[in-house]
């Protein structure tokens, strides 16, 4: 716990949602199970194993002490979530959580839900992906596969995209996605398709081709997408959806599958795609292993094909 307490002493809070402590990255001794996120005005402490009561008390005390230094005029709002045996438990330790809870990132607003499940509505590790899309979307048609709450779509429209097609089998996530568009002043420009991607190639092809495609699937969602067998099925279909000179962001957040896995899948299933580079993860997500951390790979469809 000592390295968590030491790291806390240096954290600062801005207005944007960010990760403050990333024990998962393996840089902090005996803290691989701990993360701390800032979803203003709430701090979220996550433990990937249940904490002993005494350890939780130590964490809460350290967080409170730092809070008193950096935010002495505001009450501390602190949520604790832990994972145990495949289940997620969430409790409000201190203060309150606003409802609706709207956070910002890079000039965009997003609705989040800290008390509901383990996905909160905004994946903080994908901030650079959203930034890349924002910076490259002007006058583009964008396909957002596995759109969830449509963070990439909001970023694309902010960057001046002509049109975005969002597809995700979760109607609930897409409905938050629609609200995220409205929150950011986008009442047009995006479509929301509540379908299984593997059953929607015809529709997706009809709406294409796309200048940018983002594919950010789960690593292992039983019955819907299992990266080891389904990523190749996805990759195979992408060239026919991509415009000449179109660009692709392929994402993979599975510690057990490395960059080489994803690159090999592309080489085998879609050799017309050219690898460009891998996007860096936000500095807070520092990891002892580049291969275990989130992978966001840029590809393009070469002009000659």
Ligand X SMILES: C[S@@+](CC[C@H](N)C(=O)[O-])C[C@H]1O[C@@H](n2cnc3c(N)ncnc32)[C@H](O)[C@@H]1O
Whole-angstrom distance between the N-terminal and C-terminal Cα of the chain? 54
Of 90-98, 169-177, 181-189, 281-289, the window that binds ligand X (rule: CB under 6 A) is 169-177
Query: Which CB atom, from 61 or from 221, has the smaller least distance to ligand X?
Result: 221
Minimum gap (Å) between residue 283 Cβ and ligand X: 19
Q: Are 155 and 133 in contact (CB under 8 A)?
A: yes
Residues 6+ apart with CB under 8 A from 140: 156, 161, 162, 210, 211, 212
User: In whole angstroms, what is the distance from residue 304 CA to residue 189 CA?
Assistant: 30
Q: Does 216 bind ligand X (CB under 6 A)?
A: yes
Restricted to residues 177-196, the positions that interact with ligand X (CB under 6 A) are 196
Among 136, 149, 179, 293, binds ligand X (CB under 6 A): 149
Query: Which CB atom, from 11 or from 176, has the smaller least distance to ligand X?
Result: 176
Minimum gap (Å) between residue 159 Cβ and ligand X: 15
Of 17-25, 29-37, 76-84, 144-152, the window that binds ligand X (rule: CB under 6 A) is 144-152
Q: Classify each residue of 26-42 as buried b or exposed e, where b means 16 or more C-beta atoms within 10 Å of its C-beta.
A: eebeebbbbbbbbbbbb
Q: Interior CA angle at 129 toward 236 and 161, to 5°?
A: 85
Q: Does 198 bind ligand X (CB under 6 A)?
A: yes
Query: Which CB atom, from 129 or from 246, has the smaller least distance to ligand X?
Result: 129
Query: Which CB atom, from 77 or from 281, has the smaller least distance to ligand X?
Result: 281
Q: Does 170 bind ligand X (CB under 6 A)?
A: yes
Q: Does 38 bind ligand X (CB under 6 A)?
A: no
- Angle 151-158/127-136 helices, nearest 10 degrees? 30
Minimum gap (Å) between residue 223 Cβ and ligand X: 8
> How many other CB atoms sit within 10 Å of the CB of residue 269?
17
The torsion defined by the Cα of 238, 244, 247 and 252, in degrees rounded to 10, comes to: 20
User: In whole angstroms, what is the distance from residue 200 CA to residue 167 CA?
Assistant: 9
Structure tokens at 130: 């959203």
Q: Does 221 bind ligand X (CB under 6 A)?
A: yes
Query: Which CB atom, from 152 or from 210, has the smaller least distance to ligand X?
Result: 152
Restricted to residues 95-124, the positions that interact with ligand X (CB under 6 A) are 123
Minimum gap (Å) between residue 144 Cβ and ligand X: 7
Q: Does 25 bind ligand X (CB under 6 A)?
A: no
What residue ranges bind ligand X (CB under 6 A)? 123, 126, 146-149, 151-152, 168-170, 173, 196-198, 216-218, 221, 224-225
């Amino acid at each position: 716990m000592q390295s968590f307490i030491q790291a806390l002493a240096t954290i600062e809070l801005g207005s944007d949602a960010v990760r403050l402590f990333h024990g998962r990255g393996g840089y902090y001794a005996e803290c691989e199970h701990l993360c701390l996120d800032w979803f203003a005005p709430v701090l979220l402490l996550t433990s990937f194993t249940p904490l002993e009561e005494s350890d939780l008390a130590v964490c809460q005390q350290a967080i409170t002490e730092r809070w008193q230094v950096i935010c002495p005029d505001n009450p501390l709002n602190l949520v604790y979530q832990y994972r145990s045996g495949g289940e997620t438990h969430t409790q409000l330790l201190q203060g309150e959580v606003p409802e609706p809870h709207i956070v910002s990132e890079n000039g965009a607003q997003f609705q989040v839900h800290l008390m509901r499940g383990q996905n909160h509505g905004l994946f903080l590790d994908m901030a650079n992906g959203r930034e890349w899309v924002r910076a490259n979307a002007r006058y583009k048609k964008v396909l957002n596969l596995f759109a969830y709450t449509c963070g990439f779509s909001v970023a694309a429209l902010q960057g001046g995209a002509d049109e975005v097609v969002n597809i995700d089998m979760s109607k609930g996530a897409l409905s938050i996605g629609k609200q995220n568009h409205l929150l950011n002043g986008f009442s047009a420009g995006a479509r929301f398709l509540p379908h299984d991607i593997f059953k929607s190639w015809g529709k997706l092809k009809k709406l294409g081709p796309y200048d940018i495609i983002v594919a950010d699937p789960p690593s292992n969602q039983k019955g819907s997408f299992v990266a080891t067998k389904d990523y190749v099925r996805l990759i195979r279909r992408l060239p026919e959806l991509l415009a000449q000179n179109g660009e692709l962001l392929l994402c993979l957040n599975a510690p057990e599958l490395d960059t080489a896995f994803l690159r090999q899948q592309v080489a085998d299933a879609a050799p017309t795609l050219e690898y460009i580079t891998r996007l860096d993860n936000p500095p807070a997500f520092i990891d002892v292993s580049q291969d275990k951390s989130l992978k966001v790979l840029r590809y393009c469809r070469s002009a000659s094909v």
